[in-house]
């Protein structure tokens, strides 16, 4: 998870001995020591969310409460200005030992980072440019995004448009679209050259963002662009691209992908939204509904799968056409994702908004599936690792029967399973990413569609296992939206999005096996 911003400590704090602090051990005159800092909780005690009584305990009042504190609170509690203000001094001759590492630095907790970022490890895949991007992007995420992510995940409002624009100005929105000509000559974040940008750069952008620990926000922050813009970029007319691409990449306009309906999910051919071409061919009239459309609530453009007289087509429908209603759908993650139910009611769409050729739509829709699924793998694998890190930290600081939780072999066994699975998933992901870097689009379709399908279905199984063990180890806190287990609670509640979106586990696992069967050599025999 993201390192938190460090509070600036007040200059020349008063120093006390432990004996002096111990004098302040009663209601109305109550101090405690946490990590060598002395807190005057005399007035705060009455406001304390955990109750006043805890401060009157003889092992707490005037005493060192570091262990008991970290068994019950996340470090970020102490970093909040309203609580940092309670500090009246420090213990003479002692230094805090438990402050967060500087913002942007890699975690030193074992297995908290993919091995290419862990001290002492090596990787054949990541070069200096990847490492520079990772360093600078992590700092940016920790300093400028995490706070917003946490805020909107909670209040359900759409991610700040100013942030999206800032990401646009820094080239991040364009980088999230993956490698390609759209990056050539463009000013990119961390001075990455568009020509050298590859799928490992994109993996870094996705995996670092996941560390915000806010799944709804992750989709709310232009998730619709990542899947809705490629059909326009790859198959749209120049006129359409001129209207849509740059405004979306700048963060001035928002786009989403509208394929699924109440009538059709993975069976995409079952959609019923219909676009009837006018006699003179100047426009289409669109009628129908779409369901579960990420960012649909605030999108300006809807990259929409429709049935037509020619078969299947895709249109980039501007909201400005009118007669389009978008309603929020309450899902198990935050409304900040802007998940919508959309109604097209006799929407007159000029023909210039048709993407590519009428009748070729299924090809345009399918063409981006591999990439979309791979992005989801990047995301769910990193989120599972973060949940494993949270669990390891928890087992280290929560004591039961006077010993840390990890003193129980059954807990260590669960940790072993988590670490092994996230390591395996990341290593497979990096291998697939390397293949993507080396293969043409057609080769990827031929050789990787099955692999990516398997990787996605397996990595969400990994997330399932990690979530299951993490919640069991966190206990009630793994079911609580604030406090120690809040990231695990969120992960356990939201990993299913990756298991279902972009093709559910069974459907894409099946796809992979069917592809393998098609590729069986004719002479294959036992």
Positions that interact with ligand HEM (CB under 6 A): 32, 39, 41, 48-50, 54, 60, 65, 68-69, 72-74, 77, 83, 86, 482-483
Strand locations in 334-438, DSSP E? 340-350, 354-355, 399-400, 403-404
Could you tell me the smallest distance in angstroms from the CB atom of residue 452 to ligand HEM? 39
Q: How far is the CB of 159 from ligand HEM (least distance, A)?
A: 24
- Contact between residue 395 and residue 406 where contact means Cβ atoms under 8 Å apart: yes
- Of 62 and 288, which has the nearer Cβ to ligand HEM? 62
| Least separation in angstroms between CB 49 and ligand HEM | 4
Q: Measured from the CB of residue 146, what is the shortest distance to ligand HEM in angstroms? A: 17
Residue 54 vs 210, nearer CB to ligand HEM: 54
Considering beta carbons, is residue 78 or 454 the nearer one to ligand HEM?
78
- Shorter beta-carbon distance to ligand HEM: residue 55 or 369: 55
* Sheet arrangement for strand 14-16: 14-16, 87-91, 37-40, 29-34, 25-26
Considering beta carbons, is residue 50 or 270 the nearer one to ligand HEM?
50
Place of tokens 């345009």: 364
Q: CA 395 to CA 485: how far, in whole Å?
A: 12
Quick one: tokens of 8?
């600036």
Q: Smallest distance, Å, CB 31 to ligand HEM?
A: 10
Minimum Å gap between C-beta 482 and ligand HEM is 6
Q: 431 or 472: whose CB is closer to ligand HEM?
A: 472
Q: Which of 524, 508, 517, 470 is nearest to 492 (CA)?
A: 470
d(CA 413, CA 73): 25
Cα(267)–Cα(284) distance, integer angstroms: 24
In the complex, residue closest to ligand HEM by CB: 50
At 53 the three-state DSSP class reads helix
Q: Which is nearer to ligand HEM, 247 or 483 (CB)?
A: 483
> SS3 of 71, please?
coil
Measure CA 240 to chain center.
Answer: 30
Q: How far is the CB of 151 from ligand HEM (least distance, A)?
A: 15
Computed on alpha carbons and rounded to an integer, the radius of gyration of the chain in Å comes to 26
Q: How far apart are CA 129 and CA 468, in angstroms?
A: 37
- Closer by beta carbon to ligand HEM, 50 or else 322: 50
* Least distance from ligand HEM to the Cβ atom of residue 155, Å: 17
Report the sign of the C-alpha dihedral through residues 155, 73, 48, 16, in that order.
negative
Instruction: Return the biggest CA–CA distance within the chain.
Output: 92
């Amino acid at each position: 998870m993201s390192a938190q911003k460090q509070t600036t400590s007040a200059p020349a704090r008063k120093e006390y001995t432990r004996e002096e602090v111990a004098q302040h051990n009663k209601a109305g005159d109550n101090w405690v020591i946490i990590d060598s800092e002395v807190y005057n909780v005399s007035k705060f005690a009455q406001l304390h969310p955990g109750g006043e009584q805890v401060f009157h305990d003889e092992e707490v009042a005037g005493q060192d409460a570091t262990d008991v504190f970290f068994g019950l609170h996340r470090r970020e509690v102490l970093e909040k200005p309203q609580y940092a203000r309670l500090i009246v001094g420090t213990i003479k001759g002692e230094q805090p030992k438990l402050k967060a590492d500087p913002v942007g630095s890699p975690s030193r907790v074992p297995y908290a980072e993919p091995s290419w970022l862990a001290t002492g490890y090596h990787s054949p895949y990541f070069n200096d440019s990847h490492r520079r991007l990772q360093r600078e992007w992590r700092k940016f995420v920790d300093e400028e995004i995490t706070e917003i992510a946490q805020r909107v995940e909670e209040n359900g409002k759409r991610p700040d448009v100013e942030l999206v624009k800032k990401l646009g100005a820094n080239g991040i929105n364009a980088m999230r679209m993956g490698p390609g000509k759209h990056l050539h000559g463009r000013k990119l974040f961390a001075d990455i050259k568009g020509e050298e940008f590859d799928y490992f750069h994109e993996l870094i952008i996705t995996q670092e963002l996941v560390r915000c620990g806010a799944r709804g926000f992750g989709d709310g922050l232009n998730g619709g662009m990542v899947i809705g813009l490629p059909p326009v970029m790859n198959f749209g007319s120049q006129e359409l691209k001129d209207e849509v691409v740059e405004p979306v990449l700048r963060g001035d306009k928002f786009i989403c992908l509208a394929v699924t309906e109440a009538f059709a999910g993975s069976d995409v051919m079952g959609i019923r939204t219909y676009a009837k071409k006018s006699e003179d061919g100047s426009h289409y009239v669109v009628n129908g509904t779409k369901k579960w459309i990420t960012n649909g609530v605030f999108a300006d453009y809807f990259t929409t799968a429709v049935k037509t007289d020619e078969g299947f087509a895709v249109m980039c429908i501007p909201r400005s056409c009118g007669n389009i209603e978008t309603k929020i759908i309450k899902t198990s993650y935050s409304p900040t994702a802007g998940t919508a139910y959309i109604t097209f009611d006799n929407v007159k769409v000029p023909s210039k908004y048709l993407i590519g050729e009428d009748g070729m739509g299924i090809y345009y829709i399918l063409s981006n599936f591999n990439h979309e699924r791979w992005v989801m793998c990047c995301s769910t694998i990193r989120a599972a690792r973060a949940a494993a890190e949270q669990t390891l930290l928890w087992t280290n600081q929560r004591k039961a029967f006077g010993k840390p939780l990890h003193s129980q072999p059954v807990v260590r066994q669960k940790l072993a399973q988590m670490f092994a699975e996230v390591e395996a998933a990341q290593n497979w992901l990096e291998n697939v990413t390397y293949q993507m870097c080396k293969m043409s689009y057609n080769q990827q379709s031929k050789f990787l569609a099955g692999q990516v399908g398997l990787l996605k279905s397996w990595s969400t199984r990994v997330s399932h296992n990690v979530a299951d063990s993490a919640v069991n180890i966190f206990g009630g806190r793994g079911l609580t939206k604030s406090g120690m287990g809040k990231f695990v609670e969120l992960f356990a509640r939201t990993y299913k999005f990756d298991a279902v979106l972009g093709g559910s586990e069974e459907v894409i696992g099946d796809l992979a096996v069917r592809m393998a069967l098609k590729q069986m050599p004719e002479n294959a025999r036992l």
